[in-house]
Structure 1
Amino acid sequence: MTKVFLTGASGFIGAHILNDLLNHGHTVVVAVRSATRGQQILNRHDRDAANKRVSFVVVEDFVKQGAFNHVLQTNAPFDAVIHTASPYFYNPYDPENEILRPAVQGTIGILRSVTEYAPTVKRLVITSSFAAMINFNRHPATYSESVWNPMTYEDALRPSVTYPASKKLAEEAAWDFMEKEKPHFSLTTFCPPLVFGPVIHHLESLRDINTSNTRIRDFIQGKYKDAIPPSNLYLWVDVRDLAHAHIRALTATGAENERFFVTAGHYDNKQIVDIIREEYPHLSEVFPPKDLSGDLPKDVYQYDNSKSVNVLGLTYRTLRESVRDTVASLLKIKE
Structure 2
Amino acid sequence: MKKVGIIGGSGFIGSYITKAFLNNGFLVKVSATDIKREDKYQHLVTLNHSDNLHISELDVMNKSALQDFVFDCDIIIHSGTPFLLEFQDAKKQLFDPTIKGTENFLEVVSKTPGIEKIVFIASVAAWNTNFPLPAVNKSFTDTFDESDTRFTSTESHPYAQAKFMANQVVEKFIKDNPNLFFEISSVSPVMVLGKSMSNREDSTSSVLQYLIKKKIAPDKFIQELYDNDVPFAIVDVEDVANAAFKAATTIGLHGKDYLLTSETYKVSDISAMLNHQEPKEKASIIYKNDLAKIDLGIQFRPVKKTLNNYSN
- DSSP-derived class of the 2:248 partner: coil
- DSSP-derived class of the 2:111 partner: helix
The one-letter code matched in structure 2 to 1:304 is K
The one-letter code matched in structure 1 to 2:257 is R
Matched, 1:187 2:195: no
- DSSP-derived class of the 1:4 partner: strand
- Cα offsets for 1:249-298 (capped at 9, x unmatched): 1222443321101101211223223334437xxxxxxxxxx9x96798xx
The residue aligned with 1:112 is 107
Alpha-carbon offset, residue 100 of structure 1? 1.9
The residue aligned with 2:146 is 145
1:39-118 alignment runs, 5 A limit: 41=41, 44-46=44-46, 51=51, 53-59=52-58, 61-73=59-71, 76=72, 78-117=73-112
- Cα offsets for 1:28-60 (capped at 9, x unmatched): 001111113467535532465763x1001111x
The one-letter code matched in structure 2 to 1:162 is P
CA contact (8 A) 2:18 2:28 kept: yes
- TM-score normalized with structure 1 length: 0.78
- TM-score normalized with structure 2 length: 0.84
The residue aligned with 2:268 is 270
The one-letter code matched in structure 2 to 1:190 is V
The one-letter code matched in structure 1 to 2:233 is L
The residue aligned with 1:284 is none
Matched, 1:324 2:304: no
Percent identical: 22
Alpha-carbon offset, residue 96 of structure 1? 3.2
Describe the shift of the 1:170–1:311 C-alpha distance in structure 2 as closer, same or farther (beyond 3 A). same
- DSSP-derived class of the 1:143 partner: coil
User: Structure 2: how far apart are the matches of 1:38 and 1:185?
Assistant: 33
- Cα offsets for 1:211-241 (capped at 9, x unmatched): 3x434313544648xx992453521100000
The residue aligned with 1:283 is none
CA contact (8 A) 1:17 1:247 kept: yes
Describe the shift of the 1:88–1:266 C-alpha distance in structure 2 as closer, same or farther (beyond 3 A). closer
Describe the shift of the 1:273–1:127 C-alpha distance in structure 2 as closer, same or farther (beyond 3 A). same
1:1-335 alignment runs, 5 A limit: 1-37=1-37, 41=41, 44-46=44-46, 51=51, 53-59=52-58, 61-73=59-71, 76=72, 78-117=73-112, 119-134=113-128, 135=130, 136-139=135-138, 141-151=142-152, 155=154, 161-182=157-178, 183-203=180-200, 206=201, 208-211=202-205, 213-221=206-214, 223=216, 229=226, 230-278=228-276, 302-328=286-312
- DSSP-derived class of the 1:98 partner: helix
Alpha-carbon offset, residue 12 of structure 1? 0.4
User: Structure 1: how far apart are the matches of 2:88 and 2:274?
Assistant: 36
- DSSP-derived class of the 2:204 partner: coil
User: Structure 1: how far apart are the matches of 2:85 and 2:215?
Assistant: 23
Larger Rg over CA atoms: 1
The one-letter code matched in structure 1 to 2:119 is V
The residue aligned with 2:220 is none
Alpha-carbon offset, residue 69 of structure 1? 1.0
Alpha-carbon offset, residue 194 of structure 1? 0.5
The one-letter code matched in structure 2 to 1:167 is K
- DSSP-derived class of the 1:316 partner: coil
